[in-house]
């Protein structure tokens, strides 16, 4: 991972660039840009990506897995970033499935995109956006309450090169383990240890339907297990469902 890095000063979206070249390049090729003009978030949202202030990167993978397993790679990404941020001395939590939060505010998001057939993945692009050195004024007004950066939390400018190399090293270790063992247990253990949701009451939101439950586990497939007040237990596979702490 990251042996072949393509570095841009500006692109629309590193995920879009990665998808263009995914079939031609070797696995692990990583695209990093100083800024994104049309950074993409989940659920069709925009991702603010000002120049030189964050880590905006996409890792191209070609594992021999089925499309239903693709979300496992998101868990590997979340575990890699959480550990990398911890390694530079900043405590953080993973809000399942793929946000990293500090004191409840989002500091990293992951957008995994895939191309594949019914039972085989052609490629997976793991897009990672880390708000490293953004200042309050860099966030759109409506995000100031819910978003933060490492700089804002640590009250000092953070070395992006050191951080990105931690992320890539962690990702390589956890991804290799997944390929060798066919299990993401190592990543799940990290996700559980630093989970922002486990053992807490959560709202399970699907469209207009909102239900309350307790998050009781993350299973070996990376799915969240919730328990309703009537004792019913349900496995949640992310997608359109969004989870809010209460
Ligand atoms: C989210 O909504 O939480 C996911 C945000 C993902 C942002 C990253 S930044 C690098 C990569 N390129 C994109 O356009 N998006 C992802």
Domain containing residue 151: CATH number: 3.30.930.10
Range of the domain at 45: 5-193
The SS3 assignment for 199 reads coil
| Strand (E) or helix (H) holding 215 | strand 209-218
Domain check: are 48 and 104 in the same one? yes
Domain check: are 62 and 184 in the same one? yes
Domain check: are 235 and 125 in the same one? no
- Give dist(CA 213, CA 226) in Å, integer: 6
Distance 228 CA to ligand 1 centre (A): 32
Number of separate helices (H) and strands (E) present in the chain: 5, 12
User: What is the pLDDT at residue 43?
Assistant: 84
Distance 140 CA to ligand 1 centre (A): 16
User: What is the pLDDT at residue 20?
Assistant: 98
* Pocket flag, ligand 1, residue 39 (CB < 6 Å): yes
Say how many CA atoms lie within 13 Å of 136 toward its Cβ: 4
User: What is the pLDDT at residue 242?
Assistant: 65
What ligand 1 atom has the least distance to the C-alpha of 33? Answer: 10
Domain check: are 215 and 141 in the same one? no
Between strands 209-218 and 224-227, the pairing is antiparallel
Listed residues 193, 210, 234: the one ending a domain: 193
* Pocket flag, ligand 1, residue 56 (CB < 6 Å): yes
Q: Are 72 and 112 in contact (CB under 8 A)?
A: no
Distance 40 CA to ligand 1 centre (A): 5
- Give dist(CA 198, CA 214) in Å, integer: 8
- Spatial CB neighbours of 181, under 8 Å, sequence gap ≥ 6: none
Between strands 54-61 and 93-95, the pairing is unpaired
What residues of the chain score a pLDDT lower than 50? none
Distance 230 CA to ligand 1 centre (A): 37
Total number of domains constituting the chain: 2
Domain check: are 156 and 239 in the same one? no
User: What is the pLDDT at residue 197?
Assistant: 92
User: What is the pLDDT at residue 204?
Assistant: 87
Nearest to 147 by CA among 159, 134, 160: 134
Domain check: are 58 and 149 in the same one? yes
- Give dist(CA 175, CA 182) in Å, integer: 10
Distance 189 CA to ligand 1 centre (A): 24
The b/e string for 131-165 (b: 16+ C-beta within 10 A; e otherwise) is bbbbeeebbeeeeeeebbbbbbbeeeebebeebbe
pTM, whole model, 2 decimals? Answer: 0.95
Distance 60 CA to ligand 1 centre (A): 14
Domain containing residue 229: CATH number: 2.30.30.100
What ligand 1 atom has the least distance to the C-alpha of 40? Answer: 14
Ligand 1: which of 31, 33, 39 to mutate, judged by most atoms within 8 Å of the beta carbon? 39
- Give dist(CA 130, CA 23) in Å, integer: 26
Domain check: are 234 and 155 in the same one? no
What ligand 1 atom has the least distance to the C-alpha of 38? Answer: 14
Domain check: are 126 and 218 in the same one? no
- Give dist(CA 206, CA 164) in Å, integer: 34
- Give dist(CA 192, CA 226) in Å, integer: 14
- Give dist(CA 173, CA 106) in Å, integer: 25
User: What is the pLDDT at residue 239?
Assistant: 58
* Pocket flag, ligand 1, residue 213 (CB < 6 Å): no
User: What is the pLDDT at residue 26?
Assistant: 97
């Amino acid at each position: 991972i990251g042996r072949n890095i393509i570095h841009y000063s500006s692109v629309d979206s590193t995920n879009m660039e990665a998808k263009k070249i995914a079939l031609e390049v070797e696995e692990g090729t990583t695209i990093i840009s100083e800024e994104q003009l049309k950074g993409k978030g989940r659920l069709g949202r925009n991702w603010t990506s000002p120049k030189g202030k964050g880590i905006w990167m996409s890792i191209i993978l070609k594992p021999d897995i089925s499309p239903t397993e693709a979300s496992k790679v998101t868990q590997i990404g979340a575990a890699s970033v959480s550990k990398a941020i911890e390694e530079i001395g900043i405590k953080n939590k993973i809000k399942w499935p793929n946000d990293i939060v500090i004191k409840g505010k989002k500091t990293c998001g992951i957008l995994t995109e895939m191309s594949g057939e019914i039972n085989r993945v052609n490629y997976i692009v793991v897009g990672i956006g880390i708000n490293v050195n953004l200042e309050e004024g860099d966030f759109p007004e409506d995000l100031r309450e819910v978003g933060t950066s490492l700089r804002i939390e640590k009250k000092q400018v953070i070395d992006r090169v050191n951080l990105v190399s931690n992320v890539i090293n962690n990702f390589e270790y956890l991804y290799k383990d997944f390929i060798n063992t066919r299990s993401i247990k190592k990543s799940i253990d990290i996700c559980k240890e630093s989970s922002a949701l486990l053992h807490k009451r959560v709202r399970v939101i699907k469209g207009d339907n909102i239900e309350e439950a307790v998050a009781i586990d993350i299973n070996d497939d990376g799915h969240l297990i919730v328990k309703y007040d009537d004792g019913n237990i349900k496995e949640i596979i992310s997608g359109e469902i969004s989870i809010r702490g209460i």
